[in-house]
Amino acid sequence: MRALIVVDVQNDFCPGGALAVPDGDAVVEVVNRLASEAPFVVATRDWHPHDHGSFAAQGGPWPEHCVRDTPGAALHGGIDESQIDVVVDKGQVSDREGYSGFEDTGLERLLRERGVDAVDVAGLALDYCVKATALDAKRAGFDVTVHRSATRAVEVTPGDGERTVQELRAAGIDVVD
């Protein structure tokens, strides 16, 4: 069975958010379409404590974002939450990045219990959390497809998105438009 993993389509990663991904909200329509076609849908959320190590105030590279129980951590309002079967919170451990939906979450177990052997991955951001989730899914033995039209990259360095696509393909992950 296939499952869709919707990675971190949260307010703080969309225009106007604390760590907005350029054109991040453009993924919403495509994500909703993919979710309507998927037999099982998991959404991940960054769900950070106030003292998360990735925050600039703690010496990390990012502004404070997706602090649990704040509006910025909520899923984007355009996401059709009625299509989501399970929400998995990640990035809850202060001294761990938590980029991957598989890190400290039980996601692999959840997918195996549902008989999932292949995953489609969409969401934000391609060059960080989508990449980490897709690579961990592949390492766990799932067939993995990343939907390029349903992702956007942060592009800290210009070209990061395309370099990520090359890295994913080199790891045996299908990247489709």
Helical H segments across the chain, by residue range: 27-37, 107-113, 131-139, 160-170
| Residue that has been written with the tokens 């960054």 in this structure | 46
Other Cβ atoms less than 10 A from the Cβ of 15: the count is 12
Report the chain's C-alpha Rg in angstroms.
15
Tokens describing residue 151: 């992702």
Verify whether residue 8 is a known catalytic residue: yes
Verify whether residue 129 is a known catalytic residue: yes
Q: Which of 120, 129, 131, 136 is catalytic?
A: 129
Q: How many residues does the chain have?
A: 177
Q: Which of 14, 25, 89, 90 is catalytic?
A: 90
| Residue that has been written with the tokens 């959390």 in this structure | 129
- Cβ(76)–Cβ(84) below 8 Å: no
Bridge partners of 176, per DSSP, are 147
Four-point Cα dihedral 31, 144, 135, 125, nearest 10: -10
Active site residues: 8, 90, 129
